[in-house]
Chain A
């Protein structure tokens, strides 16, 4: 009796508390928008600030930000979908868009976004957000991305290397290898080239960076018409391309994985060239100043190729109020706070108005070459729902190849893994039928 009385009292307190909490809630609920994102601490801070500004300007709305760390973002997103806790807006890595669009977790975004912003998108930005099956736009970003070849001006002048000025006169493979051989003998140079293996073997960087080498030499990760990897990924040009990278690593020309990602600008500048992302410019410029030369990616084979695609924003099918989500996204992309942060990180513009206010990428700017690449040489990673497996298979192959394994065998194994995945899903219809 005493026990149950005690318990009863407890229950009463809980009930009273619940009633009190309910009473403090406003009578009419605000429209709530949830957004899942990744990013470093400064970006997280910026997102918080933009959300607060939006709430101040639109008192009827409430924005909830959900952070998930970069390295396990896709896993966290998958878990959110499984748990039926998909937020209204998600950030996603562009090559994974096809997977989410095919699974119908994201919806066409154009009806919800300010038309002025849609008209402001660069061609490459539209391409990274478009799902090839219905050719509709599913995601939008402020930024895009690219890779360029950074050079240490002092070293290059010392060996008298020709410095390309634009995409059209990029180094060829022979020219690059000759430069590397000369650089290897220069005092202070430990490694002629940094390929940023330091990002890790299971990093999207591997596919992002090295698939362009394959494409430049005349093959691809997967055939984009038949959607079969065998016969493409393990074809002769791909074997040749990866063998080239392997030979460089074997000869000690490339910064090893364990040496980190800062050898280009670290004390003494141990790395002379760096095939790095546009974001690397801000990082290196802090310590190197004018000593950096920005050059287009070399033309390894018959055509020049550069990558594109970055983290972009999509509205999910779980959004109860996609108009509200679109309203916030439009505000977000136009926000000065966001653009200032992006500019400070040497973000690669994906909106023309943002490009116009980014002197770094304007004609004459240090990164103008990179922006030029987007129009002339950019190739998106394969927009196919099997992309998660395509990229993992390729990463494994590159790990084997960089460590001395047989390129042909490694690529064949990867190609079979990709084809098996596609077969398991009955070809991911309607892919393969169109």
Chain B
């Protein structure tokens, strides 16, 4: 009997301990959960509700009312919305290879046993820790038309044959100009992630390959790239989601111009919500953006999982 009873009490004590631990953990999680609920979950649910009403930023004598899916219908039939979505896709397609490619390249570089390795690591990471706003202001000077440094450089190198180019004001150049500066500001984060991924690859694999006579390119292609598979998935997903949320650069440098060529979905949303004061309409845009980003992420994940 006693032999039987002992394990039961033991189990009960274990259960009690587990229960207490759970309560302790919950207690410690609470502050974070409450904050998340207040600042993320509730606003998110609210925007669902707002998107079905004609809610205004500034409350009016006429109260807001339920209007069904009219906001969604209007958003989806507004050419400016499709234009902003197309711009974001263009931006993503351009920034993704440049930013991730550069991040991988620099990560491989600073992963070598070079002298002053730590100095190079810090220098390459510098843009990522500077504020995007400040980066934009600095780059706006570089891009200045017609006498900015970039234009002087271009004219100097081509002996005055090319340029000056109105980088931010020309409808062909404004988006590439934003891509370049965005990739430069943000690649540091992806570089660190790649660096971590690289350090997870066992050095023995490289040693073995060297003995087998593989050259640097073959080692990169057959050891480094497969070894980074999981890192790629993460980096590409994060970069895509960030790219879809493009806003700061546009707001500071081009305000969506020229002629809407750099307008983005988030910029369009903020504009309709805060400047035109149509909060209901802007909420509908945010819901649509959420669905699009979610869909793109899921498809990407599926594709990359299949590939691996």
B58 touching A78, Cβ below 8 Å: yes
Q: Which of A46-54, A149-157, A254-262, A360-368 contacts B (4 or more CB under 8 A)?
A: A254-262
CB–CB B255/A201 < 8 A: yes
Partner-binding segment picked from A14-22, A107-115, A333-341, A397-405: A397-405
Determine whether the beta carbon of B167 is less than 8 Å from that of A258. yes
Contact A75 B255 (CB under 8 A): no
Q: Give the chain A neighbours of B168 by CB distance below 8 A.
A: 258
Q: Which of B100-108, B116-124, B142-150, B297-305 contacts A (4 or more CB under 8 A)?
A: B142-150
Between A and B, how many residue pairs show CB distances below 8 Å? 81
Decide if A103 touches B255 in the complex (CB within 8 Å): no
Contact of A258 with B144 in the complex, beta carbons under 8 Å: yes
The answer on a CB contact under 8 Å between A426 and B59 is no
Look across to chain B and name the residue whose beta carbon is closest to the beta carbon of A260. B144
Determine whether B25 belongs to the interface, using a CB cutoff of 8 Å to chain A: no
Name the prevailing secondary structure of the A interface residues: helix
Is A81 in the interface zone, CB < 8 Å from B? Answer: yes
Is there a chain B Cβ closer than 8 Å to A388's Cβ? Answer: yes
Specify which chain A residues have a CB less than 8 angstroms from the CB of B190 in the assembled complex: none
Please give, as numbers and ranges, the residues of chain A lying within 8 Å of B208 by CB-CB distance: none
Contact A103 B59 (CB under 8 A): yes
The residues in A between 85 and 114 inclusive whose CB is less than 8 angstroms from any CB of B are 99, 102-105
A396 to B255 Cα, complex, angstroms: 11
Q: In the docked arrangement, what's the CA distance between A243 and B146, Å?
A: 25
What is the distance, in angstroms, from B270's C-beta to the closest C-beta of chain A? Answer: 9
User: Of B2-10, B191-199, B271-279, which binds chain A?
Assistant: B271-279
User: CA of A134 to CA of B53 in the docked complex: distance in angstroms?
Assistant: 31
Query: In whole angstroms, what is the CA distance A260 to B144 when docked?
Result: 8
Please classify how large the interface on chain A is, using the bins under 10, 10 to 19, 20 to 34, 35 or more: 35 or more
Smallest distance from the beta carbon of B1 to chain A beta carbons, Å?
Answer: 37
Q: Which residues of A contact B144 (CB under 8 A)?
A: 258-260
Q: Name the contact of B57 in the complex, choosing from A79, A402, A421 (C-beta under 8 A).
A: A79
Q: A81 — which chain B residues lie within 8 A by C-beta?
A: 58-59
Contact A259 B58 (CB under 8 A): no
CB-CB contacts below 8 Å: B219-271 with A? 255-261, 271
Determine the distance from Cα of A201 to Cα of B258 in the docked complex, in whole angstroms.
8
Q: Which residues in B have their C-beta under 8 angstroms from that of A34?
A: none
Contacts known (A82-B58, A258-B144, A259-B145); A202 close to B274, Cβ less than 8 A = no
- For window 159-217 of B, CB contacts with A under 8 Å fall at 166-169, 171
Q: Within 8 Å CB of B169, what residues of A?
A: 256-258
Closest to A385 in B: B60
A42 within 8 A of B: no
CB neighbours (8 Å) of B166 from chain A are 256, 258
- Whether the pair A388, B276 counts as a contact (CB closer than 8 A) is yes
* In contact, A258 and B143 (Cβ under 8 angstroms): yes
Alpha-carbon gap, A74 to B80, bound state (A): 23
Q: For residue B146, which residues in chain A have a CB less than 8 angstroms away from its CB? A: 190, 259
Chain A residue nearest in CB terms to B148 = A258
Asked if B157 is at the interface of the complex by the 8 Å CB criterion, the answer is no
Q: Are A403 and B257 in contact (CB under 8 A)?
A: yes
Residues of B within 8 A of A39 (CB): none
Is residue A187 contacting chain B, with contact meaning CB distance below 8 A?
Answer: no
B276 and A392 within 8 A (CB) = yes
Interface residues in B81-140 (C-beta closer than 8 Å to A): none
Is A389 in the interface zone, CB < 8 Å from B? yes
Q: Would you call B286 an interface residue if the criterion is a C-beta within 8 Å of the partner chain's C-beta atoms?
A: no
Among B58, B256, B277, contact of A202 (Cβ-Cβ < 8 Å) = B256
- CA separation between A11 and B240, bound complex, in Å? 48
- Report yes or no: A200 in contact with B255, Cβ–Cβ below 8 A: yes
Residues of A within 8 A of B259 (CB): 399-400, 402-405
Mask, A415-427, CB within 8 Å of B = 1, is 0000001001110
CB-defined interface of A200-211 with B at 8 Å, one 1/0 digit per residue? 111000000000
Instruction: Give complex CA distance A396, B257 in Å.
Output: 9
Is B54's CB within 8 Å of the partner chain A?
Answer: yes
Residues of A within 8 A of B62 (CB): 425-426
Given contacts A81-B58, A82-B57, A403-B171, contact A257 B257 (CB under 8 A): yes
Does A74 contact B256, Cβ atoms closer than 8 Å?
A: no
B61 at the interface (CB under 8 A from A): yes
CB neighbours (8 Å) of B60 from chain A are 102-103, 425
Q: Which residues of B contact A201 (CB under 8 A)?
A: 255-258
Within the assembled complex, what's the spacing in Å between the Cα atoms of A222 and B281? 23
Contact indicator B57/A400 (Cβ below 8 Å): no
Q: A103-B58, A258-B167, A424-B54 are in contact. Are A78 and B277 (CB under 8 A)?
A: yes
Establish whether residues A388 and B260, one from each chain, have CB atoms under 8 Å apart when the complex forms.
Answer: no
A414 nearest CB across to chain B (Å): 11
In the bound complex, how far is the Cα of B277 from the Cα of A105, in angstroms?
Answer: 15
Task: Tell me the smallest distance from the CB of A202 to a CB of chain B, in Å.
Answer: 4
Contacts of B59 on A, CB cut-off 8 Å?
Answer: 81-82, 103
Closest to B70 in A: A424
B59, B145, B256, B275 — most chain A CB neighbours (10 Å): B275
Q: How far is the CB of B52 from chain A (nearest CB, A)?
A: 15
Q: Which residues of A contact B258 (CB under 8 A)?
A: 201, 257, 399, 402-403
Chain B residues near A200 (CB, 8 Å)?
Answer: 255
Closest B residue by C-beta to A410 = B259
Report Cα–Cα, A160/B144, bound state, in Å: 33
**A399 CA / B171 CA spacing, docked (Å):** 11
Alpha-carbon distance between A103 and B57 when the two chains are bound, in angstroms: 12
User: Which residues of B are found within 8 Å of A82, using beta-carbon distances?
Assistant: 57-59
Closest to B55 in A: A82
The reply to whether B275 and A103 form a contact with Cβ atoms under 8 Å apart is: no
How far is B273's CA from A74's CA once the two chains are assembled, in angstroms? 12
Closest to B166 in A: A258
Q: CA A127 – CA B58 in complex, angstroms?
A: 24
Q: Is the CB of A389 within 8 A of B276?
A: yes
A69 to B166, CA, bound (A): 28
Known: A200-B255, A256-B145. 9 other contacts (CB 8 A): A75-B57, A82-B57, A102-B60, A201-B258, A257-B169, A257-B258, A258-B167, A258-B168, A392-B276
Q: 29 A-B contacts, Cβ less than 8 Å apart?
A: A72-B274, A74-B275, A75-B275, A78-B58, A78-B274, A78-B277, A79-B57, A81-B59, A82-B59, A103-B60, A105-B58, A201-B257, A201-B258, A202-B256, A202-B271, A256-B169, A257-B257, A258-B143, A258-B168, A258-B169, A259-B146, A388-B277, A396-B80, A399-B256, A399-B257, A403-B257, A404-B259, A424-B54, A426-B62
Point out residues on B near A: beta carbons under 8 Å.
Answer: 54, 57-62, 80, 143-146, 166-169, 171, 255-261, 271, 274-277
